[in-house]
Amino acid sequence: MGKSIARCGYRCDLCPAYTDNISNEEDRAKVSDGWFRCYGFRIPPEAIYCDGCLSEDFDNPHRIDPDCEVRQCAEKRGLPNCAHCDEYICDKLTKKIVFPDKTVRQAGAPFPQEDYVRFIEPYSNRKVLDEIREDVVRRELTPMQGCSSWLYGELSVIFVNRSLRALCGLYSESD
């Protein structure tokens, strides 16, 4: 299975609750315990399996969060994920953003690397969405006036994003 990115930027392919990643009841119990430790909520082990939000509704998929506002919004707008939205980052998405460092601090020490990879990395959606967003913006921007400004749709935007400035050679480490 390749990279599977949910509407909110979570990585389904890395999620321990994703159907392809569950092999037995012990796996489900570990996920329930891990989520409780990291995020403070508990889902009964027997309820832990998810077909992912990219599954078509007509397939009657099982989702951990069947009423997810982010999924519903992205689908309504016809977007593969929030990085493609004009309103990136909105209040709906903000509720689902996971900050890995904060999660590790809240979970307390010690925090094994294996737990980080299993219970935090799949949900590090801000990083995933920012990378997609940067790529989307880069493809949609048209350089104007020697890279000092860009045309985005109908708007001329002076860029301040370091990565975009670096593309034009306008960024230095002293910025």
Express each pLDDT in 79-108 by its tens digit.
999 999 999 999 999 999 999 888 888 887
- The pair of structure tokens assigned to 34 is 């891990």
pTM: 0.76
Go through 70-93 and write b for each residue having 16 or more CB atoms within 10 A of its CB, e for each that does not. Answer: bbebbeeeeeebbbbbeebeeebb
CA-based nearest residue to 3, from 122, 135, 113, 120: 122
Please check whether residues 136 and 147 belong to one and the same domain. Answer: no
> Does pLDDT of 175 surpass 60?
no
- Which pLDDT band holds residue 172 (cuts at 50, 70, 90)? very low
**pLDDT tens readout for residues 137-169:** 888 775 554 454 444 444 444 444 445 555 555
Give pLDDT, residue 154. 40
Identify whether 44 is part of a domain.
Answer: yes
- pLDDT band of residue 58 (cuts 50, 70, 90) is confident
Per-residue model confidence (pLDDT) at position 164: 53
- Spatial separation of the C-alpha atoms in residues 4 and 146, rounded to whole Å: 37
Q: Is residue 1 part of a domain?
A: no
Residues 129 and 175 in one domain: no
- pLDDT category of residue 76 using cuts at 50, 70 and 90: very high
Into how many domains does the chain fold? 2
Whether residues 53 and 134 fall in one domain: yes
Q: Are residues 148 and 132 in the same domain?
A: no
Q: 73 with 94, same domain?
A: yes
What pLDDT shows up at residue 143?
57
Residue 5 lies in a domain: no
Residues spanned by the domain of 41: 19-140
Residue 13 included in any domain:
no
Distance from C-alpha of 32 to C-alpha of 114, rounded to nearest angstrom? 15
In 3D space, the residue among 100, 147, 85 whose CA is nearest the CA of residue 161 turns out to be 147
For residues 104-125, average pLDDT? 88
Point out the least confidently predicted range of 6-15, 114-123, 166-175. 166-175
Are the C-beta atoms of residues 114 and 41 closer than 8 Å to each other?
no
Same domain, 116 and 175: no
9 within domain boundaries: no
Same domain flag for 63 and 126? yes
Whether 76 maps to a domain, the answer reads: yes
Q: What letters, b where the CB count within 10 A reaches 16 and e where it falls short, cover 45-68? A: beebbbbbbeeeeeeeeebbeeeb
Is residue 3 domain-resident? no
Give the position of tokens 């992205």: 74
Q: Are residues 50 and 25 in the same domain?
A: yes
- Both 76 and 146 in one domain: the answer is no
Q: Examine the domain organization and report whether 73 and 85 are in the same domain.
A: yes
Q: Write the pLDDT tens digit of every residue in 2-31.
A: 789 999 999 999 999 998 999 999 999 999
Residues 34 and 68 in one domain: yes
Q: Using CB atoms within 10 A of its CB, is residue 150 exposed (0-12), middle (13-18) or buried (19+)?
A: buried
Judge whether 12 lies within some domain: no
72, pLDDT greater than 90: yes
One domain, residues 122 and 93:
yes
